[in-house]
Structure 1
């Protein structure tokens, strides 16, 4: 017999997996690799500060050489720029371009459309009730410190 907690966990995971599946379809259809999409989202989330290639390698668990290759592909498509740091010409500052930001916005729009379809089975009052219940759950536990991240894939704290 499945406990109530197990059933709740299963349902929450199912909703999360539906979102992940929609994200995978978007990434595939965008012509980006998963790593390129992740990097582009991360840069968009951090657009108000300088991001260096080494940081991208560390947060994604890849090598600096892999990040360099990945950034070249994004730069060729006009999604990012790389400029030398004023303090050290060997350090490259990476920024998302307006075109790259539009790609990320397209991802967000696509995910919102998928979520609207998913929750369309609930009327407005039921959606409000679900929001209130989930907000209570999130506020009461360690998840309260983590915010979802979008295309960047990593939770923001």
Structure 2
């Protein structure tokens, strides 16, 4: 197998960290470029994907999950609600609190966006050898573990 031009940079943990930061960032930018609705801010898109993945939650829980301040999440939720992508309802146990959930339109947008990004990435994966795909499968598991710690 041919050596990567990056292999000399990844010999140390610091070098590997630098290469991963740049490479993962570049991949994230390429995937963001495939967004279906570029008029959504990155924060709005992240909130939609979180609700799709985890279901309804309070704005505070959503802010905690997305690591933003509650006032910022309040603005994000208001903008998404105005576009008909989320709805707010009263919390069943505490009428002073609200729950945020996707509307059907919001759920459809998330699904279509996921399909588009995954199709782009699947097309790129076709360019790789079976061995490279096996390496990526193992790397995906490791990267997922890194995001959990």
TM-score (norm. length: structure 1):
0.71
Q: For residue 135 of structure 2, what is the aligned residue in structure 1? A: 133
Residue 93 and residue 65 in structure 1: after superposition, are their counterparts in 2 closer, same or farther (change >3 A)? same
Give the deviation of 1:38 after TM superposition: 0.5
**Aligned to 2:87, what secondary structure does the other structure show?**
strand
Any conservation in 1 of the 2:36–2:113 contact (CA below 8 Å)? Answer: no
Residue 115 and residue 12 in structure 1: after superposition, are their counterparts in 2 closer, same or farther (change >3 A)? farther
Unaligned runs of 5+ in 2: none
Q: For residue 51 of structure 2, what is the aligned residue in structure 1? A: 43
| 1:53 and 2:59 matched | yes
Give the deviation of 1:56 after TM superposition: 1.4
Residue 90 and residue 58 in structure 1: after superposition, are their counterparts in 2 closer, same or farther (change >3 A)? same
**Aligned to 2:60, what secondary structure does the other structure show?**
helix
Any conservation in 2 of the 1:19–1:114 contact (CA below 8 Å)? Answer: no
TM-score (norm. length: structure 2):
0.74
**Aligned to 2:99, what secondary structure does the other structure show?**
strand
Whole-Å Cα distance in 2 between the matches of residues 144 and 72 of structure 1?
Answer: 31
CA-based RMSD of the aligned residues comes to 3.1
Provide Cα deviations, 1:111-141, integer angstroms capped at 9, x if missing partner.
112213322323xxx23x33333344556x5
Residue 144 and residue 78 in structure 1: after superposition, are their counterparts in 2 closer, same or farther (change >3 A)? closer
Q: For residue 102 of structure 2, what is the aligned residue in structure 1? A: 96
Whole-Å Cα distance in 2 between the matches of residues 2 and 119 of structure 1?
Answer: 20
Q: For residue 91 of structure 2, what is the aligned residue in structure 1? A: 85
Trace 1:7-22 onto structure 2 (pairs within 5 A): 9=16, 10=19, 14=23, 16-22=24-30
Higher RCO (CA < 8 A, seq sep 6+):
1
Whole-Å Cα distance in 1 between the matches of residues 144 and 42 of structure 2?
Answer: 27
Give the deviation of 1:42 after TM superposition: 0.4
Unaligned runs of 5+ in 1: 147-154
Provide Cα deviations, 1:70-127, integer angstroms capped at 9, x if missing partner.
11111111111110111111111111111111111122122112213322323xxx23
Any conservation in 2 of the 1:22–1:111 contact (CA below 8 Å)? Answer: no
